[in-house]
């Protein structure tokens, strides 16, 4: 009975989220799968909701490119912090290295010490462009990650501004995530909506699909239709910008190294001492 009640609550939440956007879908397209993301889900976040009284679990409603509307629950609400409503995300159960772990390792290179204050200074010195422009909040996400790894015995906290990082930190951090079981994981593909991506002068998620780097199936219904239309408009925009051309028969042809070209200058990364700090994925 409890499972049935939870399922009904999820379906109601999906219906409300779609109604708020002026949309309606067939109930058969709803996937209230909780934390059972057996295959990767790619789509737009249309709503976020706490799923327990303590506020520890967060449910995301995702309008997928597969023509279905998914509800995915996360045990750690903090894991969904960057997945704002309107963002395009990928949800899967495949463990992967976290960008935050890479950044922590870079800051600690040569000293074995990660200092939040050093991280902020590095970002500020390189004038790194972050979503929202909040260096403090960005660094805080790394501190929260370190707190979790401290409880797992992987890192040590000497003080609020001094974390001791082992040499094999990244390997142990990834193993820690894998060892927690097949937890659902989320990756931000773009913090910008499709309209912004179409007109962007930088690399976008749409560009990755255009050049074939993203092979995930695109179903022509729901969000999938919006993506297809946005891809057509983006292709035209890249021609206008001079990054692509049309053949005599109308076929679209991107210039060589399109993504690399659009990434210059590397506006979403910060460089110090010849090393890149990963700040975000594609726009």
At residue 267, does pLDDT exceed 70? no
Helix (H) / strand (E) element for 14: namely helix 2-20
Q: Which parts of 98-147 are beta strand (E)?
A: 113-114
Would strands 69-74 and 30-34 be described as parallel, antiparallel, or unpaired?
Answer: parallel
7-31 pLDDT, tens digit each = 888 888 888 888 888 888 888 888 8
Quick count: other Cβ atoms within 10 Å of Cβ 279?
20
Q: Which domains does the chain have, with CATH numbers?
A: 2-93+182-190 (2.40.50), 99-180 (1.10.10), 194-262 (no CATH)
How many whole angstroms separate alpha carbon 51 and alpha carbon 175? 28
Nearest to 84 by CA among 120, 54, 58: 58
For 106-132, write each residue's pLDDT tens digit: 999 889 999 999 998 888 887 656 555
Give the model's pLDDT for residue 11: 87
Q: What is the pLDDT of residue 204?
A: 93
Q: Can you say whether residue 242 is alpha, beta or left, with left for phi > 0 and alpha for psi between -120 and 50 degrees?
A: left
pLDDT at 65: 94
pTM exceeds cut of 0.75: no
Per-residue pLDDT tens digits for 225-258? 999 999 999 999 999 999 999 999 989 999 888 8
């Amino acid at each position: 009975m409890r499972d049935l009640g939870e399922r009904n609550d999820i379906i109601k939440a999906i219906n409300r989220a779609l109604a708020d956007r002026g949309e309606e879908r067939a109930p058969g397209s709803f996937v209230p799968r909780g934390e059972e993301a057996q295959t990767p889900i790619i789509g737009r976040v249309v709503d976020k909701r706490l799923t327990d009284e303590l506020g520890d679990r967060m449910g995301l409603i995702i309008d997928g490119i597969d023509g279905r509307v998914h509800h995915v629950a996360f045990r750690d609400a903090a894991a969904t912090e960057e997945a704002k409503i309107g963002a395009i995300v990928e949800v899967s159960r495949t463990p992967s290295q976290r960008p935050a772990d890479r950044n922590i390792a870079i800051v600690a290179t040569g000293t074995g010490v990660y200092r939040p204050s050093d991280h902020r200074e590095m970002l500020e010195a390189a004038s790194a462009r972050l979503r929202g422009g909040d260096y403090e909040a960005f660094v805080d996400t790394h501190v929260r990650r370190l707190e979790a790894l401290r409880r797992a015995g992987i890192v040590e906290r000497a003080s609020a501004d001094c974390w001791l990082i082992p040499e094999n930190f990244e390997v142990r951090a990834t193993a820690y995530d894998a060892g927690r079981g097949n937890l659902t994981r989320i990756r931000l593909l773009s913090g910008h909506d499709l309209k912004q991506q179409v007109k962007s002068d930088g690399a976008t998620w749409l560009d990755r699909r255009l050049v074939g780097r993203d092979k995930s199936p695109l179903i022509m219904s729901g969000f999938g239709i919006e993506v297809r239309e946005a891809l057509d408009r983006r292709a035209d925009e890249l021609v206008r910008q001079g990054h692509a051309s049309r053949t005599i028969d109308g076929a679209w042809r991107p210039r060589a190294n399109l993504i690399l070209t659009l990434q210059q200058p590397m506006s979403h990364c910060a460089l110090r001492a010849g090393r890149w700090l990963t700040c975000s994925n594609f726009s």
